[in-house]
Structure 1
Amino acid sequence: MKLDLVMIVKDAASTLPRCLESFRTEVDDIIIVDTGSSDDTQTVAKRYDSKIYQIPWENNFAKARNAALQKSDADWRLVIDSDEYLTAGNNLKKAILEQQALHASFVGRLRIRSKFQTNGNIQYENSYVSRILPREAFYEGAIHEQVVHPGLPTIQFDGFVVDHDGYFGSHKSERNIPILMDLLESEPNSFYHLFQLAREHRNVKQFESAHQLLTKALQICPATSSIFPMLIVDLIYNCIELKYFEQGLYTIERYESQLAWYPDFHFACGIFYMKWILYDPSKFLYFPRIETAYLRCLSLGDENITTSVEGTGSYLAAHNLASLYEASGNLEKAKIYQHLETKWRKDHRISF
């Protein structure tokens, strides 16, 4: 069985060495398709015996990824970006063969741990993304492209973690917003594109524009969609930014039964009630809901199936509970949750 690392890159000289060092022993060949670098990307790639190809960039990620996949003759292709790197797991080929014995063909999902910053704090969003592809799989979508794999099961490869910091301190929203706007010209009722465009607007703090997009996406997004939980959570946080607290409360109470399983929802609720009370002390009647929200987070634990911010079911919730109890004068409880926060943060570091 042959496994190739397949990448599309542009001006990736600064991140490519870290990426290739982390994956080089996991694959047979490295296929790199350059879409127009002006830096030393190709020089760096040659140090790792990569097979390098050049194609013009046509503002379409799926088209570029499919072109890269076509350059590989492997049975399986591992699709990675240059700002990603393997931080946990090894012997991926063995893991693929074990699953192949059970399923013949499938699409493998890896845990992508993306670094981001909010309110001056560094956090990580974990998502499970299709990255291990058989020859029959391909991509569609000009941006935030999706894998197409008719009839094939998706298998989650636990134990493998890929860290990603490409959006941390970057300006990719400036690139992504025009592409998404063009897509919405032809597909105005795509809740997926509306949601992604809203996220890009939130990245650049255009919260009113994001609010309009999130509201429209929610009107047409089915509750069964994988983005539905994130859409609701993003809308709550956006209501906080705009101080649309009445709409935020309506959103929480309307969807709390549907999202009772999702720690990120309860975490957002805790933040929401705290911010509302600080903004309007007359809403102090909601104060008990803050504690309830974070305790619910801890009872659920960190989510490991869908996209979720790391720690919402463990150390972040414990931190906020400790702060809540300390502010309330309950120092004994504050110490308990401070200890749990420290322990769970350490446990997460050990796991990578």
Structure 2
Amino acid sequence: MISISLCMIVKNEEQVLSRCLDSVKDLVDEINIVDTGSGDGTVEIARAYTDRVYFFEWTGKFTDARNESFRHATKEYIIYLDADDVMLEEDRAKLKKLKNSLDPAVDSVSMYYNAGVDEFGNVTLKYRRNRLVKRSRYYRWEGDCHNYLNVYGNIINSDISITHMKIQHSVGRNLSIYEDKIARGDEFSPRDYFYYGNELRENGLYKQAIESYTKNIELKEGWVEDKVYACINRADCYHYLNDSQGEMSSLFESLCYSKTPRPEMCSRVGYIFQCKGEYESAIYWYELATSHKEDPDKWSFTYPAYSTWYPHLQLCVCYDRITNLEKAYEHNELARKFRPKDKNVLYNKELLEKKMGID
């Protein structure tokens, strides 16, 4: 059996810290918590779980704080969590099994990060991260914002998930980190341009986001998966700016990098045709989205809604518009499997049953 150090950085997390630690405390052999300046009860809560609580002056870079937390680990492997993360029961069981069976020759175990969950328990965004890493490899965090562990060696992919359950979103915090980076005259990597574009988009700065995504796409360097989603996310910005031509062009440009269409792209193209009343074309793209088979080894972003309930819900609408009520009802029922109490789904069900004479 391997031994595991949990390493965390925290600041003003009294609302969520206990929930996180309760979900993992019996699975790790050591808890290291680095506080970066809390003004609430975070430190007191942390000390109820461990005497390994440390203090680190905030430098403006998450990388510095995360590397400091790793410095205090003493066990064979390190696992890291944010305070608003949890391990659900199914994943706790999987981690316990992994801890008992992991080959010590493994340098890193990747896990899914369920970065968002809707009101029905459906994961809205997930991607892989190197989550359990061998301490003796001295892996380092890199990047000022949206940090990543620079991991290499013997890496295996697991089906374990860490679930993010945020209570509130720090609006503008990450954007300011990038703005400070610009003010210092720091050079941006392709990755920086992608994530800066994401921050600009989330803050409604669509024109600037388009510029940042375009810089990522035009650079020869950079991860191809970032370029796929730079095209798709840039299309969203064009959509918000009512530029349908730019939106469509950006969506199809994603094919230059993905080679085959992603559900996120297909569902957006379907919606463009749906809004134009071109329902047969919309149906083609929505059905293509639902036919996608998930790659369990994919590391980049996956938005499950775009291959599950969302295209089925829109297919219900499109088939209803061309008076194919049986197909409309079929797809609404498929959407209902994912969102059983969704008001739109239930309304469609009632309406279609009336039209079809179903008691």
Which range, TM-score by smaller chain?
A: 0.7 to 0.9
- Matched residue, 2:302: 308
Matches within 5 A, 1:304-343: 304=296, 305=298, 306-343=300-337
Counterpart among 283, 294, 302 of residue 286 in structure 2:
294
Deviations 1:131-188 (A, max 9, x none): 1111121211111111012x41332211x2221133x642x24211121123345444
SS in 2 for 1:82: coil
Unaligned 5+ runs, structure 1: 278-283, 347-352
Q: Give the Cα–Cα distance (whole angstroms) in 2 for the partners of residues 273 and 31 of structure 1.
A: 52
Which secondary structure does the structure 2 equivalent of 1:100 belong to?
coil
Name the amino acid aligned to 2:332.
Q
Greater Cα offset, 79-88 or 219-228? 219-228
Equivalent residue for 1:105? 106
Q: CA deviation at 1:15?
A: 0.7
Deviates more, 1:287-296 or 1:221-230: 221-230
Larger radius of gyration: 2
Q: In 1, are the aligned partners of 2:274 and 2:318 still within 8 Å (CA)?
A: no
- What is the Cα deviation at residue 86 of structure 1? 0.8
Partners in 1 of 2:4 and 2:273 — Cα distance? Answer: 49
Out of 23-32 and 295-304, give the one that drifted further. 295-304
Runs of 5+ consecutive residues of structure 2 not aligned to the other structure: 341-359
**What are the equivalent positions in structure 2 for 1:1-12 lying under 5 Å apart?**
1-12=2-13
Q: 1:126 to 1:75 in 2, by over 3 A?
A: same
Q: Which amino acid aligns with 1:194?
A: Y
Aligned partners of 1:80, 1:12: CA distance in 2, in Å? 13
1:123 is displaced (CA, Å) by 6.7
> Counterpart of 2:78 in 1: which secondary structure?
strand
The residue correspondences of 1:200-349 to structure 2 (distance < 5 A) are: 200-220=199-219, 222=221, 224-256=223-255, 258-259=257-258, 260-275=260-275, 277=276, 284=277, 287-302=279-294, 304=296, 305=298, 306-345=300-339
Instruction: In structure 2, give the amino acid aligned to 1:309.
Output: Y
Distance in structure 2 (CA, Å) of the matches to 1:214 and 1:18: 36
Deviation at 1:274, TM superposition (A): 3.3
In structure 2, do the counterparts of structure 1 residues 224 and 180 end up closer, same or farther at CA, with 3 Å as the change threshold?
A: closer
Percent identity between the two aligned chains: 21
Going from structure 1 to structure 2, the CA distance change for 1:236 and 1:288 (only over 3 Å counts) comes to farther
SS at match of 1:226: helix
**Mapped partners of 2:233, 2:215: distance in 1:** 13
RMSD in angstroms over aligned alpha carbons?
2.4
Deviation at 1:21, TM superposition (A): 1.0
Give the superposition deviation at 1:293: 1.4
In structure 2, what is the equivalent of residue 349 of structure 1? none
Q: Deviations over 1:227-246 (max 9, x none)?
A: 12221210111111111211
Partner-residue secondary structure (3-state), 2:26:
helix
TM-score by length of 1: 0.85
Contact persistence 1:236–1:272 (CA under 8 A)? no
Name the counterpart of 1:35: 36
User: CA offsets per residue over residues 247-275 of structure 1, 9 Å max, x none?
Assistant: 22222333336432522221222233334
Aligned partner letter, 1:145: N
Of the structure 1 ranges 312-321 and 323-332, higher mean CA displacement relative to structure 2 is found in: 323-332
Aligned in 2, Cα 1:224/1:198: closer, same or farther, shift over 3 Å?
A: closer
**Equivalent residue pairs, number:** 328
* CA deviation after TM superposition for structure 1 residue 326, in Å: 2.4
Q: Equivalences for 1:147-226 in 2 at 5 Å?
A: 147-149=149-151, 151-158=152-159, 160-166=160-166, 169-170=168-169, 172-184=170-182, 185-220=184-219, 222=221, 224-226=223-225
What residue in structure 2 maps to residue 24 of structure 1? 25
Higher mean displacement: 212-221 or 256-265: 256-265
Change (3 A) 1:255 1:175: closer
Q: Tell me which protein shows more strand as a share of its residues.
A: 1
Which residues in structure 2 correspond to 1:38-57 (within 5 Å)?
38-57=39-58
